[in-house]
Amino acid sequence: MKKHASPRRVSPGRADPLGATLREGGVNFSLYSRPAQRVELLLFDGVEAAQPSRVIALEPGLNRSYHYWHVHVPGVKAGQLYAYRVDGPNEPDRGVRCDPTKVLLDPYGRGVVVPPGYDRGTLTTAGDHAALAMKSVVVDPSNYDWDGDRPLRRPATQTVIYEMHVAGFTRHPNSGVDEARRGTYAGLIEKIPYLQDLGVTAVELLPVFHFDVQDAPSGRLNYWGYAPLSFFAPHPQFSSRRDPLGPVDEFRDLVKALHRAGIEVILDVVYNHTAEGNENGPTISFRGIDNEAYYILERDRRYYSNYTGTGNTLNANHPAVRRLIVDSLRYWVQEMHVDGFRFDLASILTRDDRGHVLAQPPVLWDIESDPVLAGTKLIAEAWDAAGLYQVGSFVGDAWREWNGRFRDDVRDFFRAEPGSIRRVADVIIGSPNVFGHEGREPEQSINFVTCHDGFTMNDLVSYNTKHNEANGEGNRDGANDNRSWNCGIEGPTDDPEIERLRNRQVKNFLAVNLLSLGLPMLTMGDEVRRTQGGNNNAYCQDNEISWFDWSLLERHADVRRFVKLLVAQRRTRAADARGERPGLSHLIREAEEAWHGVRAGQPDWGDGSHALGFSLEMPARGVMLHLFMNAYWEALEFELPPTMDGRILAWRRWIDTGLDSPDDIVPWDDAPVVPGPTYRAEARSVVMLYAPLA
């Protein structure tokens, strides 16, 4: 590596903290690299600069403390673009891949810029590609006025999550957002009133860490964002601002605006792999800095272990990577004010450097025991792509878990799958068969019927099979097990009866999701029956297949109204029930007395049963709730629970998905009295009654 003269005197600097930190009239740079023999810090004058304007050589005897390379550069300010070159062994057989020609992102960089000519494919080839490489940005986190903002710390019992894509929410031309702000953090700010009106209390944002949009099959782009290159920098292409510091401030503007609206911000975070891919992928950052530390490698050290299905796996329990993950989480809480995290393929974090599953993974306990993260919502997707499934057994006490069994069991019930009756009964009361052994609250279970990965709610009732031809992979990608039912015709239809049945099924799924015990999550657009045309893996579809179509607000206003009233009453019920909420162990003891079939107190648990009722007494609210579900293809007459010691005054009908809007759900206080001792539930419908207690 060629040494350049420095125009201003630099000092050795400090190893701590890692990254680029403003101090003492300049910036302290610190980088962890065990195999490095020499390191160069590169300073660039602009995003289009072909070469660095200044190269600062870090000498082993002066700028290295153990495995940390550091230097203090006076005069450098926030907004400065920088990168590294790392010289050391390039011996793939030993798992070491230093390449002094590669320009590398700082793993701790708080901002990233992407040059106009960035080409992922070029970076997989040998040679100096400085003009095409991404650069890190020096950020001053203190240079922002939060106006007193703090994370909201809303109780889980009062939380309703809305999973969404930052760009996809406003990118459609009919969003009403100015073209310059469509698909940006600023564009989302404009649509906060919609979220408030819907009643959700938290947004779960698909990845906003800077990711490689080119990490996708040839000719397509990565839309979802599960291809991270920085665990600190917000994705710059979601910003309406073009200056290097713009994405950081615009993201914080979004968080502040959501908090003012009473909405928490949960980030979908990807600490299981990076966009550098397998041994044939590009060298962008981690690979060229310390390949053995950052990645789990196979016995043949040339190859990467692939427990993620993306080409590589982050070595999360290596001490340096553990520190990186915790420092990243702390940064997003302290400096970006986010309220929680959903960990993609979280089971990866339980694996050691050989891929073996650890009983007590250090990184998970680092996260759980960190005082900065205390009270932060931690949500695990407790499985990985190699078959490890830990739902109900994920390590730690603070974690909530995506409940994939809730999704599958509810889907099976409403398509009248034999043997689904006991399973759906379990998930309605918080999945005690999954989580009950831990003695935790029902909100440990994150209940969902759909998410970004798979069919939308509309497509769940409109397609029997996936239709992913637009992805260019011969319809081989995406899950084959969708547990869907098209209601008689594959895809769109003008048949009014089939359309009416589909609308009813959508409301059935929404009702059970929001009425069951647990923490509910809705998916962007399900409240207006957003469709992806049967595509159940739209990761590469940055177009109208994935975007929120705002014309649906009028077309499916009844479904949106249904969701709004459900969410509003759930939040009221949760607030009123703070002191009387049953734990899972209590529900297990009491459940047998609460179940009904078409005859009160006589549930039918047979494999051929498709009808179920459940009662729950809420003394503090002075009501008895009675839910019954008919997944049978004919109407059924349900016997109502009898008056108990004269305490039940009268049953009132709040929800009946078998009725057309606006009778499908009514404001709580307007619920009409149910005459007689029975109630007729239409085929494939959900009914919720309540009775005031004397």
For 334-363, what is each residue's pLDDT tens digit?
A: 999 999 999 999 999 999 999 999 999 999
* In-domain check, residue 187: no
* In-domain check, residue 579: no
What is the separation of C-alpha 345 from the centre of its chain, rounded to a whole number of angstroms? 10
* In-domain check, residue 647: yes
What is the separation of C-alpha 249 from the centre of its chain, rounded to a whole number of angstroms? 22
Q: How far apart are CA 503 and CA 344, in angstroms?
A: 31
Helix/strand/coil (H/E/C) assignment for every residue in 512-566: HHHHCCCEEEEECCHHHCCCCCCCCCCCCCCCCCCCCCCCHHHHCHHHHHHHHHH
Task: Among 40-54, 300-314, 351-365, 561-575, name the one with the lowest average pLDDT.
Answer: 561-575
For 488-514, what is the mean pLDDT? 98
For the cut 90, the answer to whether the pLDDT of residue 92 exceeds it is yes
For the cut 80, the answer to whether the pLDDT of residue 590 exceeds it is no
CB 67 within 8 A of CB 120: no
Give 130's DSSP letter. G
Give the three-class secondary structure for 575: helix
Could you tell me which residues come within 8 angstroms of residue 61 by beta carbon, excluding any fewer than 6 positions away?
none
Per-residue pLDDT of 651-672, as tens digits, reads 999 999 999 999 999 999 999 9
CB 165 within 8 A of CB 452: yes
Domain-terminating residue out of 137, 168, 202? 137
> From the CA atom positions of the chain, what is the Rg in Å?
27
Identity at 531, one-letter amino acid code: T
Q: Which of 548, 555, 554 is nearest to 177 (CA)?
A: 548
Task: Among 278-282, 530-534, 619-623, name the one with the lowest average pLDDT.
Answer: 619-623
* In-domain check, residue 150: no
Q: What pLDDT, on the 0 to 100 scale, is given for residue 424?
A: 97
Active site residue 441: no
Q: How far apart are CA 372 and CA 468, in angstroms?
A: 43
CB 166 within 8 A of CB 188: yes
For the cut 80, the answer to whether the pLDDT of residue 245 exceeds it is yes
Measured CA to CA in angstroms, residue 231 lies from 67, 316, 399 at distances of: 21, 13, 21
Per-residue pLDDT of 397-423, as tens digits, reads 999 999 999 999 999 999 999 999 999
Q: What pLDDT, on the 0 to 100 scale, is given for residue 441?
A: 85
* In-domain check, residue 632: yes
Can you give the CATH number for the domain in which 659 is found? 2.60.40.1180
* In-domain check, residue 615: yes
For the cut 50, the answer to whether the pLDDT of residue 4 exceeds it is no
For 225-246, what is the mean pLDDT? 97
For the cut 90, the answer to whether the pLDDT of residue 649 exceeds it is no
Q: How far apart are CA 385 and CA 398, in angstroms?
A: 24
Domain-terminating residue out of 137, 172, 189? 137
* In-domain check, residue 643: yes
Give 360's DSSP letter. S
540: tokens are 């590469």
Query: Is the entire prediction scored with pTM above 0.75?
Result: yes
The residue annotated as part of the active site, out of 190, 249, 250, 381, is 381
Greatest extent of the chain over all pairs of C-alpha atoms, in Å = 92
Q: How many domains does the chain have?
A: 2
Q: How far apart are CA 566 and CA 459, in angstroms?
A: 22
Active site residue 381: yes
Element (H, E) at 334: helix 319-334
CB 390 within 8 A of CB 382: yes
Helix/strand/coil (H/E/C) assignment for every residue in 3-58: CCCCCCCCECCCCCCCEEEEECCEEEEEEECCCCCEEEEEEECCCCCCCCCEEEEE
The residue annotated as part of the active site, out of 344, 408, 412, 426, is 344
| Domain region containing 665 | 592-692
CB 87 within 8 A of CB 37: yes
Query: How many beta carbons lie within 10 A of that of residue 476, not counting itself?
Result: 10
| pLDDT tier at 618, thresholds 50, 70, 90 | confident
Q: What pLDDT, on the 0 to 100 scale, is given for residue 3?
A: 47
For the cut 90, the answer to whether the pLDDT of residue 226 exceeds it is yes
Can you give the CATH number for the domain in which 79 is found? 2.60.40.10
Could you tell me which residues come within 8 angstroms of residue 494 by beta carbon, excluding any fewer than 6 positions away?
none
Domain-terminating residue out of 73, 106, 137? 137
* In-domain check, residue 95: yes
> What interhelical angle do 286-294 and 319-334 show, nearest 10?
120
Average pLDDT over the chain, rounded to whole? 94
| pLDDT tier at 387, thresholds 50, 70, 90 | very high
